[in-house]
Structure 1
Amino acid sequence: MALTGALLLTSAPVASADQVRDAQWPLTVYNAEKVWKISQGAGVTVAVVDSGVDSSQPDLTGQVLPGKDFTGAGDPHKDTDGHGTAMASIIGGHGHGVNDSAGVMGLAPKAKILPVKVSYKNTATWAAGIRYAVDQGASVINLSFGDSGGYPGSKGAEAIAYAQEHDVVLVSATGNDSGTVTYPAALPGVVAVSGVDKDLSFWSDSNTGKVTVAAPGVELAQVDPNTKSGYSVANGTSGASAYVSAIAALLRSKYPDLTAGQIINRLVKSASFLNNKGKTAPDKELGYGIARPGSALTMNIPKGSKEGPLAKASPSTSTESGAASAGNDNPSQAKEKKDSSSGGILLIAGIAAAVVVIGGIVFAVIRSRRNRGNGGPGDGGGIPPHGTGYPPQPPTGYQPYPNTPPNPGYPTPPGQSPPHPNPYAQQPPHQGQ
């Protein structure tokens, strides 16, 4: 079992831990030092449903809970693939050395990591893993895998519905083959995450369609137990998903009284199309915009309904994904009132009735076959067999980490923000977050 290829397409080793910290560009873009004065994710458990988490890595010591292995190997802290450890470091790494100044610093460095070792191709294992994570008290679950068979009516869909019923935020990668959003990200109520690069532009390999938000997904520094240095750089919506899971942990720590739906409401309504002119929400590439932890933590956003803004449906009767619903929390509420006479109708243009299970299953089968035929997951471009680890070659034009981090920052909003209640029609009040 391995969880690397489909959602972590390229990687290269990094020479030293201090170079890793220097090159963690998402921390610069997110102004993490300022964010951490508000929240560091303390008191929150994030389940990493993945290939396991190597708890012996110096940037993760003390962060990793006992967890459970659903693959039969017996040890959730053994990660021969390295993918789960990488995701855990992006979420909850704390660095090491003098003042923890070296190695990977996660965006939620005080959140605890619950390792749930699964086989992504075996739906029963990750479905059982999700239920286990819920029962262990995880309030955020990161699912950095796709094309997993978690279509409506499957055990995976039922497990995700179980988590939602128990007030858990579920975050999933959209996929990396420039196709459409894969399952489980395509399931109702799941936060589906695409990737952006250092310029905050859409990463062209990200899958598109029913995207919720975007996050950094290119040249991400991460812990890698399979390299000599212990680190690597990689591209993928896996890492983007991990960053959004970290933001959810920051929010759950800061706002413990909010439901999972209300946390997602803050996440969605604080997102922005920074550096992406001409986008309107929901956008097929960036969803409701680039997720921003500082703004999500500080903006004046009403709690909204307990269910939150994402459409939800029975896992056995719908194929709709994490697009905003037509309820009061919908960022495009005014338009939806014209398009629908019922607040329960999903925000999916052109759909006049609910889609039945058979349609979802046929879509999943067609999608799977298409991927096998074009180098997507399941054939070459998919997740590699157990033991192959990261692809050995770096991306074309790859350069080693620089000694100083890039600093794309956020531009100053042009002119005065219009007096409009829709947060997507405004530039954010706090830049650099």
Structure 2
Amino acid sequence: MLLTSAPTASADYIRDKQWVIDVINFKKVWSESQGEGVTVAVVDTGVDGSHPDLVGQVLKGKDVTGGGENPEDDTDGHGTGMASLIAGHGHGADNSSGVIGLAPKAKILPIKAADRDDFDDDQWAEGVRYAVDQGVDVINLSFGDSLAKPGSEGAKAIEYAQQRDVVVVAGTGNDGNAEVSYPAKLPGVLAVGAVDQSLKIWSNSNYGEGVTLVAPGTNIVRADTNQSNGYAEADGTSDATAYVSATAALVRAKYPDLTAGQVINRLIKSATFLDRDVKKVPDEEYGYGLIRPYSALTMDIPKGPKQGPLAQSSPSTSTNSGAASEGNDSTNQAKEEEKSSSGSIFLIAGIAAVVIIIAVLFAVIRSRRNGRNGGPGPGGGIPPQGTGYPPHSPTGHQPYPNSAPNQGYPTPPGQSAQHPNPYAQQPPHQGQ
């Protein structure tokens, strides 16, 4: 939805329309981190680096659509919008005009993977791999692709990114369906839903198993050089995804020693459900909650395992390397404990069988001595034993917050009375 007053809109008016600035309290967040030294790849329709709010923030990048060398956003404006929400710095006196992003000192690596909204699996997968090879820290995927299921080129490219310690963020989709879209639904991807200005789940935000976090996603003003005044206003999980990617960039800048999984851990542990009556975590609409960038930067949160709290792709579908292979300590330990438990059960079953056989033989001998034909009757043998394996969790996430001991993921701080809820007020909000 374009701004209805686009022909006469002033830059100051654009800044005033950014309600998210007050909700999140950008200035307070920036006292901790602005995303310095971090690069976010925006795999989208390209990025217009000449937009006044993005000048100097956009790296060279790549066009994987075959349309040329430069990833220009000359037909849609969507990618430019995502880049502005992540790393826009505004313009004019003190940069007080135009769009300001949540991580204004992060750099954007533009990857043009589509002209509009028709994302080809092979093309954007190539873009993801290129971005990883350029050393990006975060990849923003503000699109859906129904073909990006496990085993697809897109899925393999995301595994490639995860194995090389890159945070991958994608939107859940804008259909209002009880099904998270791909590639957000893929293992290990930080799947983002959208909330409206009342901070309730947006009616068109896809939900269901796999939602990780939610962020503001309605009435979002963003840069768009395809419009006459250079700006557009829109609703969608795309915008929410950009804000989560920016939050990941802020955390990576402040905590460069954390793995991608541990960055996601901080985002999850610092999130909030506000006053929502959530019965089970992750919730099908809110996931682990609403992002709180300032809390993600300042709360005392244990690093946790290197792999992070989200389920990862099966080793049978990818080659373990880098950070991904290093982060499997807790998984391997669980497997060893599982094998040990199973072995103990079978050992006990074997001893029990021997005892029963001895008892039966004793009864038979005694029966024969007493002149009777004895022995166990029908159905009197050893009952079948269980497998010794715990029941398989139906969700893609590790059990949370009721995790098994030593998982490294306690109940999220910020949900107790010790951490006041920064989103308690209705808009305009005090922020974080």
| Coarse TM-score class (shorter-chain normalised) | 0.7 to 0.9
Provide Cα deviations, 1:392-430, integer angstroms capped at 9, x if missing partner: xxxxxxxxxxxxxxxxxxxxxxxxxxxx95437425347
Q: 1:274 to 1:117 in 2, by over 3 A?
A: same
Residue identity opposite 2:141 in structure 1 = L
- The higher relative CO (CA closer than 8 Å, separation ≥ 6) is in 1
1:248 and 2:248 correspond: yes
Candidates 155, 158, 162, aligned match of 1:157:
155
Whose helix proportion is higher, 1 or 2?
2
Q: Larger C-alpha radius of gyration, 1 or 2?
A: 2
Whether the aligned pair in 2 keeps the contact of 1:51 and 1:118 (CA below 8 Å) is yes
What's 1:116 paired with?
A: 111
Provide Cα deviations, 1:186-207, integer angstroms capped at 9, x if missing partner: 0000000000011110001000
1:199 and 2:189 correspond: no
What's 1:51 paired with?
A: 45
- What is the root-mean-square deviation in Å for CA atoms of aligned residues? 2.6
1:31 and 2:25 correspond: yes
* Equivalent-residue separation in structure 2 for 1:128 and 1:87 (angstroms): 20
Provide Cα deviations, 1:242-265, integer angstroms capped at 9, x if missing partner: 000000000000000000000000
What's 2:123 paired with?
A: 125
Residue identity opposite 1:348 in structure 2 = T
Greater CA drift, 306-315 or 259-268: 306-315
* Equivalent-residue separation in structure 2 for 1:349 and 1:170 (angstroms): 16
Candidates 413, 416, 425, aligned match of 1:423:
413
Whether the aligned pair in 2 keeps the contact of 1:123 and 1:148 (CA below 8 Å) is no
Provide Cα deviations, 1:57-116, integer angstroms capped at 9, x if missing partner: 000000000000001111203432100000000000000000000000000000000000
What's 2:395 paired with?
A: 348
* Equivalent-residue separation in structure 2 for 1:421 and 1:278 (angstroms): 14
Q: 1:151 to 1:316 in 2, by over 3 A?
A: farther
Candidates 58, 61, 80, aligned match of 2:55:
61
SS at structure 2 position matched to 1:12: coil
What's 2:75 paired with?
A: 80
Provide Cα deviations, 1:188-242, integer angstroms capped at 9, x if missing partner: 0000000001111000100001200000000001001111111111000000000
* Equivalent-residue separation in structure 1 for 2:106 and 2:196 (angstroms): 25
1:299 and 2:284 correspond: no
What's 2:368 paired with?
A: none
Q: 1:43 to 1:276 in 2, by over 3 A?
A: same
* Equivalent-residue separation in structure 2 for 1:279 and 1:100 (angstroms): 44
Whether the aligned pair in 2 keeps the contact of 1:79 and 1:85 (CA below 8 Å) is no
Report 1:33-432 matches (<5 A): 33-74=27-68, 75-119=70-114, 120-179=118-177, 180-209=179-208, 210-278=210-278, 280-314=280-314, 346=393, 348=395, 421-423=411-413, 425-426=415-416, 428-429=419-420, 431=422, 432=431
SS at structure 2 position matched to 1:29: helix
Residue identity opposite 1:132 in structure 2 = Y
Q: 1:232 to 1:349 in 2, by over 3 A?
A: closer
* Equivalent-residue separation in structure 2 for 1:95 and 1:167 (angstroms): 30
* Equivalent-residue separation in structure 1 for 2:315 and 2:120 (angstroms): 18
* Equivalent-residue separation in structure 1 for 2:393 and 2:11 (angstroms): 46
Q: Unaligned stretches of 5+ in structure 2? A: 319-326, 332-387, 399-409, 423-430
Tell me the TM-score normalised to structure 2 length.
0.74
Provide Cα deviations, 1:23-65, integer angstroms capped at 9, x if missing partner: 1111111111000010000000000000000011000000000
Whether the aligned pair in 2 keeps the contact of 1:161 and 1:314 (CA below 8 Å) is no
* Equivalent-residue separation in structure 2 for 1:20 and 1:280 (angstroms): 39
Residue identity opposite 1:423 in structure 2 = P
Residue identity opposite 1:12 in structure 2 = L
Q: 1:302 to 1:65 in 2, by over 3 A?
A: same
* Equivalent-residue separation in structure 2 for 1:315 and 1:123 (angstroms): 22
* Equivalent-residue separation in structure 1 for 2:44 and 2:189 (angstroms): 17
Greater CA drift, 21-30 or 185-194: 21-30
Q: 1:44 to 1:283 in 2, by over 3 A?
A: same
Q: Unaligned stretches of 5+ in structure 1? A: 1-9, 319-324, 330-340, 352-419
Whether the aligned pair in 2 keeps the contact of 1:211 and 1:286 (CA below 8 Å) is yes
What's 1:371 paired with?
A: none
Residue identity opposite 1:160 in structure 2 = I
Tell me the TM-score normalised to structure 1 length.
0.74
What's 1:357 paired with?
A: none
Q: 1:346 to 1:251 in 2, by over 3 A?
A: farther
Whether the aligned pair in 2 keeps the contact of 1:94 and 1:100 (CA below 8 Å) is yes
Q: 1:41 to 1:53 in 2, by over 3 A?
A: same
What's 2:321 paired with?
A: none
